[in-house]
Amino acid sequence: MTLAPLAAIVAAGAIGLAGCGSPEPNEESSFGKLRVVAAENFWGSVAAQLGGAKVDVQSIIVNPDTDPHSYEPTAEDARTMAGAQMAIVNGIGYDEWASRLLAANPSGERAVLDVGSLLGLGQGGNPHQWYSPAHVHAVIDRIVAGYDRLRPADAGYFAQRKKVFETVGLARYNELIRQIKARYAGVPVGYSESIFRPLGEALGLKLLTPYSFAKAIAEGTEVSAQDKQTVDRQVSSRQVKVWVFNSQNVTPDVQRVNELARAARVPNVTITETLSPASDSFQQWQVAQLEGLERALRAATGR
């Protein structure tokens, strides 16, 4: 996005915010819910469950067909972000539009959680850290810390929400991660793009696909001929036991490998970049994908 369109969007958002009759920050802080805005719905789902009745969470990207990398924010998005008392952005080059909206509407009272900054990851790092179980828990900790800072009187409530979310809400998610790692660590798999890498590593799977292939697919850049040949050979010769692909980004290269996997009887597993369906919670979405992966690994290995 050029600076001129962004400036117009921000200006329109500021005008709309000024006339919308929103409570003053102190009034909202005393009597209303904490206004939280997440750039993407996977972090928004986590934030909403941690905040419960004390927060009002709005996610900007909720449509599974939307590409967060290239999203063009609207004036309504600018108004939404400008009104946030806490903003959650992914960072790591994934949603630069969200960081620009925040920079254009600065507030010393707003808490901003940039996941990339939290994890010490910058440009060039893998931005898909909601697929890293360890990093999900790090984000949970920081969200609750932000709530505590903004609403210290409700710290006990947020601590209880965090405990329930981690022990009950994420119970099946945590169980599947332990189960798959214990049974299938070291099994060679292929994957279409970098969103799967953090999870694959956490599960102890042997990721054979060249990372340059997966990164190029995720970023929409040209895949090298050598990487295409390597991935095609790995699938056709069944060097990989399972092929994992992002069903929201089936490029011609991915489609070709999907067909090779079917021909070679290598089980295909689908994952998505954002909540799918959008009505699912973070854990419902992740559990469904982990269960699909577990079924494919069982079929491929007989374990």
**What CA–CA distance (Å, rounded) separates 185 from 179?**
10
- pLDDT at residue 5 is higher than 70: no
Domain match, 184 and 240 both: yes
Look at residues 140, 169, 198 and tell me which one is the last residue of a structural domain.
Answer: 169
- Give the confidence band of 17 by pLDDT, cuts at 50, 70, 90: very low
Q: Are residues 119 and 243 in the same domain?
A: no
On whether both 14 and 149 belong to a single domain, the answer is yes
> Do 158 and 26 fall within a single domain?
yes
E strand or H helix that includes residue 99: helix 96-104
State the pTM of this model: 0.87
81 and 121 fall within a common domain: yes
CB-CB contact of 131 with 198 (8 Å): yes
**Could you tell me the CATH number of the domain that includes residue 203?**
3.40.50.1980
What span, in angstroms and rounded, lies between the C-alpha atoms of 44 and 216? 27
Domain co-membership, 176 together with 162? no
Q: How far is 85 from 303, CA to CA, in rounded Å?
A: 49
Give yes or no: residues 154 and 22 share one domain.
Answer: yes
Question: What confidence tens digit (pLDDT) does each residue in 206-221 have?
Answer: 999 999 999 999 989 9
Boundary-marking domain end, from 169, 199, 222: 169
Give me the torsion for CA of 278, 89, 84, 65, rounded to 10°: -30
Q: For the segment 259-297, what is each residue's pLDDT rounded down to a tens digit?
A: 999 999 999 999 999 999 999 999 999 999 999 999 999
Q: Which domain holds residue 59?
A: 3-169
Are both 165 and 176 inside the same structural domain?
A: no
Are 164 and 185 in the same domain? no
Total structural domains within the chain = 2
Check: CB of residue 89 under 8 Å from CB of residue 112: yes
What pLDDT is attached to residue 8? Answer: 44
